[in-house]
A = this chain, B = another copy of it.
């Protein structure tokens, strides 16, 4: 129903206090999401405080602070140039300030910063706050594997959902048709529905699934499969082989998740945007595929290709392949995931790329 009050910060006609949203991170994907969230919050003045605080790692662009640029020109000129951000997105250069009293937190930082940033926010977010992780990758440490939603939840003590999908950031920023998937904790559909309001638009369709681990693992493991798909491209093996490797890879992703995580749903992998759809975009576009193809056609090792093609940035697919292999090896299970094993062997042990499918 329509609200009797136009104020966005006062308590609403529903009698509930409107929620404060914070975005922790402001790269390419964070900025694309900030645009959607900022616009969407204006639709629900009863539910949300209008202002969205976005944490921006401060840097200077031509002598001007990036936060000042974003707050005056409403554009992240460094990470999402050419796209207008809504006026209610407010850039701040402190994660603590961005997150202060926030009820809903969106984490969209590079994974290496998650732990330290979360520790700095501990005790500063609202009571009963909820978080959502848009972070790709997994943490493998001391022989254990964790998704970043678990890392966030453990440090902050608030439930953490996950969002992933076939979401090339610039296409989302340009309102090209897209879908995404939110994975939520068992029984916590209410949080997923709140985040759905933050994100869903006619061209950015949000699906929900009660499976945080599945959604997170899709985002991490797809990059390993994309390396294998890139190898088939480099070998010139054609469409059948590439589709076969993608299918086998998807089945290994699903099996791995079901074996090592609680409550994973198979359909997260085979039916959602986070699963099969994101695998498709990643295996046809994307840097992992591209570097793996170049690995075969140029014969250069991955560290050289990272320097030449990615300005030294690390490839997620090979890194994840290594972490997953070490995790599996510690359990004597590496042979049960032959595609993951082949990618590791080719990338790190001098394995012959033509043997990619020999054990599948």
Contact = CB atoms under 8 A, between A and B. Distances in A.
28 contacts: A165-B240, A166-B239, A166-B240, A166-B243, A166-B244, A167-B240, A168-B238, A168-B239, A171-B238, A171-B240, A172-B240, A176-B237, A176-B238, A177-B237, A177-B241, A178-B244, A202-B358, A205-B244, A242-B281, A243-B277, A243-B281, A244-B273, A244-B277, A246-B280, A247-B272, A250-B271, A270-B271, A276-B276
A240 B176 contact: yes
A278 interface: yes
A238 to B, nearest CB: 4
A123 interface: no
Interface in A187-239: 202-203, 205, 232, 237-239
Interface of A: 165-168, 171-172, 176-179, 202-203, 205, 232, 237-248, 250-251, 267, 270-273, 276-278, 280-281, 284-285, 357-358, 360
Contacts of A205: 244, 360
Nearest to A246: B280
A284 B167 CA distance: 18
A contact face: mostly helix, strand, loop, or mixed: helix
Given A176-B240, A177-B240, A178-B240, 4 more contacts: A177-B245, A179-B247, A239-B280, A243-B277
Nearest 7 Cβ contacts at the A-B interface:
A270-B270, A178-B240, A166-B243, A243-B277, A177-B241, A247-B277, A171-B238
A143 to B, nearest CB: 30
Contacts of A171: 237-241
A293 to B, nearest CB: 15
A284 B239 contact: yes
Contacts of A271: 247, 250-251, 270
A237 B243 CA distance: 22
A270 B276 CA distance: 9
B357 A243 contact: no
B278 A179 contact: no
Nearest to A285: B239
A245 B272 CA distance: 12
A314 B226 CA distance: 35
A72 B237 CA distance: 31
A278 B166 CA distance: 19
Contacts of A241: 171, 176-178
Contacts of A167: 240
A87 to B, nearest CB: 26
A291 B251 CA distance: 32
Contacts of A248: 179
Contact of A280 (B177, B237, B243, B273): B243
A148 to B, nearest CB: 22
